Structure formats: C-alpha cells, structure tokens
Amino acid sequence: MKILVTGGTGYIGSHTCLALISAGFEPVIIDNLCNSKLSVLDRIEEVSGMRPLFYQGDIRDAELLDSIFSEQNIQGVIHFAALKAVGESTQKPYEYFENNISGTLTLLGAMRRAGCYRFIFSSSATVYGDPHAVPIKEDFPRSTMSPYGRTKLMIEQMLEDIEVAEPNWSITLLRYFNPIGAHESGRMGEDPQGIPNNLMPYITQVAIGRRDCLNIFGNDYPTPDGTCVRDYIHVMDLAEGHVKALEVCGHKSGLHIYNLGTGNGVSVLQMVHAFAKASGLEINYKIVDRRPGDVSECWADPSKAQKELGWKATRTLADMTADSWRWQKNNPNGYEA
Ligand code: NAD
Ligand code: UFG
C-alpha cells in the first residue's frame, strides 16, 4: 500500500518512513528540501533496506501532485510538510500562512481529484495554547499564540468543516507533544539548520562543542524546579503512532483526533541532567530571561490513543537522551557528514 508522505525527508517524516516500511507500507515522498537534505534518502535506504520513491517538489504545485497521484496508486497521505519555527512565524506570517495553509488546501484538492480520502495531519500541542490544566485531553479548548500555531489551528478547523460536508473522508489529527531522540542506529536524527530553536538539539550541540552554553529560558515558573515542563516523546514512538493511526483510522471515515505524547512531564533542568547522565558530559548552562510565548506546563493525557489505537510510547527518557546523543556524536554536522 503506497502512502504519500509530504515532508518525508524532514525529521519526523523520515523516521515515519522507517516505521511505515517496517509495517509493510511503501512510502512515496514529496519534499521541496527547504528544511531537509537529499542524503536523508540514502540513510532511510541504509537503515530500512528500502529507498522510498522521491519527488523533489512543492506541495503547492497542483500539477506535480496530480502527476504523483496519477503515476502512483496512493492509498493515503501523511502530511508533515510545513514551516515550523514559532519565532520565525512572527517575523514572516505571510510565508507561514501561504506555505502551510495554501499548501494543505492544494494537497487536499489533488487528493479529491484523485479520489484519495485517507488523510493524516501533523498537528501540534501548540493548538492548546496556555492550557488551563494538565494533563491535556483532546477535548480541551483550543487557542494559539503564534502565526505558526494559527496555521495548525486553522488547518484543523478546515479539516473539521470538510469532514462534515464530505463524510467519505477519513481525517486524523495527530497532536504531537515534544518529539526528540533519533533512530537507535545513530544514522538518522534531527538536523536543524542554523541555531536550534528547540531544547534537545541545542543541548546536543553544546555537548559536541558547537555551542558554548545552553540558555535556560526562565527558572521562575510555577513548576517544581521553576523551569518549564514538557512532554518529550521519542521520535520513533511518534513515528509508530502514525502507522497505528493509518491502520486503525484509515479504515474508518470521519474525524479522529489524538494526542501523541507520553503523559510524563519533564522540566528543562531534568532534561539537562538526564542528558548529562546519558552522555557522561556536563552541560554548561545559564539561566536567562523567560522566552516570550512559553507556557509553564504542557503535557498530554495520551490515554485515548492507547485505548483506541492500541498505541503507547514505550521509550524512556534515558532512551531519548542516549539516542539523541548517539546521533549527534556520530554525525557532528548532521547529514552533511
Ligand atoms: P521538518 O522541518 O524537519 O520537516 C518538514 C519537511 O517539510 C521538511 O523536509 C521541509 O523541507 C518540507 N517542506 C516544508 N514546506 C514544504 C512545501 N511547501 N512543499 C514540500 N515540502 C515542504 O519538521 P518536523 O519536525 O519533521 O515536523 C513535521 C511536521 O510536524 C510539521 O508539520 C510540524 O509543524 C509538525 N510538528 C512538529 C513538532 C516538532 O517539535 N518537531 C511538534 C509538533 C508538530
Ligand atoms: N528551552 C530553553 N533553551 C533553549 C530552548 C528551549 O530553555 O535553548 C526551553 C523552552 O523555554 C521550553 C522548553 O525548553 O521551556 C522546550 O522548548 P522547545 O522550543 O524545545 O519546545 P516548545 O515546547 O517550546 O515547542 C514545541 C515545538 C513547537 C510546538 C510546541 C507546542 O517546537 O513547534 O512544542 O507543541 F508548537
């Protein structure tokens, strides 16, 4: 069964291709390489034994999408392709709306023309805004605090309206918490361009000596140690969640919504200590001002996915930190080798 994976050379998409291949699916990737590298395909092949078909191009290119659907017998789409940097989205809101929202609409149009109605969307815990309580359940109110977050919320709302009007769709919204870690082979992982925005790649770059010191954004939050608490999930657990969603929801029309998280809150300081333990290295850090827009606590109630999809994150914080470090240590310059 061929599955079109948009953004399939990116961080989560590439790991999901591995999980799809392991489960017997055949991923077909479209990616414009705006935030990933072609050599990811070599690594997917090396780790899985299968080289996915690859179309270098943009999801806003309707003609290209039509030709993919006519050339390949695509049975479903997992839609990762998006711009995703929260800070950048406040500087370039037009680019975020144009890429993420127009791109999704163009993709949905091509799917309709091809008669393909099985769709899995990469959403984010960012749609919960500053949650009134934790752990977060799927029916919590939604709000957003950045143009990036608004692209996710608006796409969720568009998909809800489409599903009501066109009940032949099977639409699954997967709301990811904080993916970290890397494939256990140490051959695939996260390869951010420039200065990392996210905690784990920043920590690994301090560990490898590419950066001097981690800035911890605030230690005066109402949390046990004063630093923010997140639900970090191993990227391979997240990848396997997509396969479960495809297997379970792909056969049911309607709208399906799941949190993909572990259900465990981990603070920034706890993460620094866990990483130090996994790597045997001290991580140089200093406390600086809060980062605007950060919420103090954000972690999932993942029980709906467990109950309905039969999926549960199994990898521990020790696995996540060890795998992130193995990837960084073996590939100091990421995929540039
Ligand atoms: P990523 O940047 O590594 O992967 C996204 C891929 O999409 C990249 O390879 C990029 O080149 C491609 N892309 C972007 N715009 C495109 C376009 N118009 N046409 C074709 N390809 C395009 O990001 P990721 O971390 O793998 O995230 C994947 C998805 O998950 C995104 O939708 C993101 O918003 C969502 N998400 C990520 C996180 C996270 O923390 N990483 C959390 C929640 C949700
Ligand atoms: N942090 C630091 N120093 C850094 C980077 C991060 O202290 O250099 C802290 C942040 O302040 C936050 C925590 O580490 O408390 C996690 O920050 P990340 O940037 O790694 O992750 P966020 O929870 O802020 O954001 C992630 C995704 C977003 C998504 C959001 C909500 O990157 O795309 O989760 O789901 F919108």
Q: Residue 153 falls within a domain, yes or no?
A: yes
Q: Residue 236 falls within a domain, yes or no?
A: yes
Q: What is the mean pLDDT of the chain?
A: 97
Q: Residue 102 falls within a domain, yes or no?
A: yes
Residue 128 alpha carbon to ligand 2 centre in Å: 14
Strand-pairing partners, residue 122, are 174
> What would you measure as the largest C-alpha separation in the chain, in angstroms?
56
Q: What is the mean pLDDT of residues 289-318?
A: 97
Q: Residue 100 falls within a domain, yes or no?
A: yes
Beta strands in the chain (DSSP E): 2-6, 26-31, 53-56, 74-79, 118-124, 170-176, 178-180, 214-217, 229-230, 232-234, 254-260, 266-267, 285-288, 297-298
Using one digit for the tens of pLDDT, what is the confidence trace for 215-253?
A: 999 999 999 999 999 999 999 999 999 999 999 999 999
Angle at 185 between CA 182 and CA 189, to 5 degrees: 25
Using one digit for the tens of pLDDT, what is the confidence trace for 152-202?
A: 999 999 999 999 999 999 999 999 999 999 999 999 999 999 999 999 999
How is residue 325 annotated by DSSP? H
Residue type, 327: W
CB 191 within 8 Å of CB 140: no
Helix (H) or strand (E) holding 175: strand 170-176
* Residues 6+ positions from 65 with CB-CB distance below 8 Å: 30, 59, 106, 107, 110
State the pTM of this model.
0.98
* CB of 223 closer than 6 angstroms to any ligand 2 atom: no
Q: Residue 314 falls within a domain, yes or no?
A: no
pLDDT at residue 32 greater than cutoff 70: yes
Helix (H) or strand (E) holding 279: helix 268-279
d(CA 3, CA 246): 10
* CB of 291 closer than 6 angstroms to any ligand 2 atom: yes
pLDDT at residue 283 greater than cutoff 70: yes
Q: Residue 275 falls within a domain, yes or no?
A: no
Q: How far is CA 174 from the centre of its chain?
A: 9
Closest residue by Cα to atom 27, ligand 2, is 178
Closest atom of ligand 1 to 14 CA is: 26
* CB of 9 closer than 6 angstroms to any ligand 1 atom: yes
Closest atom of ligand 1 to 13 CA is: 26
Strand-pairing partners, residue 136, are 300
Q: How far is CA 104 from the centre of its chain?
A: 16
Residue 198 alpha carbon to ligand 2 centre in Å: 5
Closest atom of ligand 1 to 198 CA is: 40
Q: What is the mean pLDDT of residues 79-88?
A: 97
Q: Residue 256 falls within a domain, yes or no?
A: yes
d(CA 169, CA 186): 38
pLDDT reported for residue 216: 98
DSSP string computed for 45-102? HHHHS---EEEES-TT-HHHHHHHHHHS-EEEEEE------HHHHHH-HHHHIIIIII
* CATH code for the domain in which residue 161 is found: 3.40.50.720
pLDDT reported for residue 320: 98
pLDDT at residue 72 greater than cutoff 80: yes
Pick from 84, 98, 105, 233 the residue to mutate for probing ligand 1's pocket: most ligand atoms within 8 Å of its CB: 84
How is residue 3 annotated by DSSP? E
d(CA 72, CA 116): 12
Token digits for 158?
Answer: 């568009």
* CB of 125 closer than 6 angstroms to any ligand 2 atom: yes
pLDDT at residue 337 greater than cutoff 70: no
Pick from 5, 30, 80 the residue to mutate for probing ligand 1's pocket: most ligand atoms within 8 Å of its CB: 80
Q: How far is CA 83 from the centre of its chain?
A: 11
Percent of the chain with pLDDT over 70: 100
Token digits for 235?
Answer: 């990227």
Query: Total domain count for the chain?
Result: 1
Closest residue by Cα to atom 6, ligand 2, is 199
Using one digit for the tens of pLDDT, what is the confidence trace for 127-158?
A: 999 999 999 999 999 999 999 999 999 999 99
pLDDT at residue 257 greater than cutoff 70: yes
Q: Which domain holds residue 117?
A: 2-180+232-262
pLDDT reported for residue 336: 87
Q: Residue 57 falls within a domain, yes or no?
A: yes
Q: Closest Cα partner for 317 from 282, 284, 285, 270? A: 270
Q: How far is CA 252 from the centre of its chain?
A: 23
For CA atoms 324, 328, 334, 337, give the dihedral sign: negative
From residue 212, alpha-carbon distances to 191, 216, 280, 284, 333 in Å are 18, 13, 17, 7, 16
Catalytic residues: 148
